[in-house]
């Protein structure tokens, strides 16, 4: 429908300005190419990662989709989701249009609304979690303990935050 309207507009313009048929054909071809590409411009094909996060209390939940290069850099991510949660519960978040690759998810619950994960002498003082393969490690996690591979299918991840 849009293409027909554009072509009709070009035909009217060409008649009004007495342009030749060859010029009309060129304008029509450009219009068709522009419309064909417009439907796909900016679209990213990829998978969806569904993350279910169990949190111990209310606050602002931050979730980050990271790759290996971003793993050790706080607040840096490929995609970030932020939402306010109330009380103890489970939140489901989505990372969309994720291309095939190796990723990890890390999250924290900002209980004092300062926009960052507070740390004390022995580690984080606010609830946090990552996409661990199995159980929480004894020391600060390494990339190979949280990463997972996304191919052409959707991925489901479960995170249980520390209390």
What domains appear along the chain, each with residue ranges and CATH number?
2-38 (no CATH), 47-160 (2.60.40)
Return the pLDDT at 85: 97
Measured between alpha carbons, how far is 63 from 53 in angstroms, rounded to an integer?
9
Q: What value does the mean pLDDT take over residues 35-49?
A: 61
pTM of the model: 0.71
Place of tokens 């002498």: 121
Mean pLDDT, rounded, for 11-37: 47
pLDDT at 140: 81
d(CA 96, CA 50): 9
User: In angstroms, rounded to a whole number, what is the distance separating the alpha carbons of residues 43 and 46?
Assistant: 10
3-state secondary structure of 45: coil
Please give the share of the chain, as a percent, with pLDDT higher than 90.
60
pLDDT of 32: 39
Q: Report whether pLDDT(161) > 90.
A: yes
The CA distance from 156 to 153, in Å, is: 10
d(CA 161, CA 111): 13
Q: Quick one: the chain helix, strand, coil %, rounded to 5?
A: 25, 35, 40
Structure tokens at 161: 């935050």
């Amino acid at each position: 429908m849009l293409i027909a309207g554009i072509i009709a507009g070009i035909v009217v313009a060409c008649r009004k300005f007495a342009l030749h048929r060859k010029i009309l054909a060129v304008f029509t071809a450009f219009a068709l190419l522009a419309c064909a590409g417009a439907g796909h411009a900016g679209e990213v094909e990829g998978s969806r990662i569904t993350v279910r996060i169990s949190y111990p209390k209310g606050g602002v939940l931050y979730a980050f989709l990271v790759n290996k290069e971003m793993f050790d850099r706080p607040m840096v991510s490929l995609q970030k989701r932020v939402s306010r949660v109330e009380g103890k519960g489970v939140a489901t978040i989505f990372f969309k249009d994720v291309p095939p690759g190796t990723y990890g998810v890390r999250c924290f619950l900002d209980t004092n609304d300062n926009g960052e994960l507070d740390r004390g002498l022995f580690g984080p003082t606010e609830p946090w979690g990552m996409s661990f393969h199995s159980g929480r490690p004894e020391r600060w996690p390494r990339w190979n303990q949280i990463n997972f591979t996304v191919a052409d299918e959707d991925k489901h991840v479960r995170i249980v935050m520390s209390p």
